[in-house]
Amino acid sequence: MDVKQRIKTLLKQHDMTIYKLANEANLSSACINNWYGKRDYEPSLNALLKISDALDIPIAQLLYDGEDMLPADELLMDFYDSWIVLNWEQRQALADIAKAMVVDKDVK
pLDDT reported for residue 108: 47
Residue 6 · residue 62 · CB < 8 Å: yes
State how far the Cα of 105 lies from the Cα of 108, in Å rounded to an integer: 6
Q: What is the CATH number of the domain that holds 38?
A: 1.10.260.40
Percent of the chain with pLDDT over 90: 27
Q: How far apart are CA 6 and CA 39, in angstroms?
A: 19
- Same domain (yes/no): 9, 40: yes
Is residue 46 pLDDT above 70, yes or no? Answer: yes
Nearest C-alpha neighbor of 54 from the set 79, 29, 83, 91: 29
12 and 57 both lie in a single domain: yes
- Which pLDDT belongs to residue 84? 79
Does residue 1 carry a pLDDT above 70? no
Together in a domain, 22 and 49:
yes
Query: Structural domain tally of the chain?
Result: 2
Q: pLDDT for 66-105, tens place per residue?
A: 655 555 567 777 787 788 788 889 989 998 998 888 865 5
The set of residues, in sequence order, having a beta carbon less than 8 Å from that of 17 and lying 6+ positions away, is: 11
Q: Which residue has the higher pLDDT, 108 or 57?
A: 57
Q: How confident is the model at residue 20 (pLDDT cuts 50, 70, 90)?
A: very high
Residues 1 and 65 sit within 8 Å (Cβ to Cβ): yes
- Structural domain including 87 reads 74-107
In this prediction the pTM is 0.59
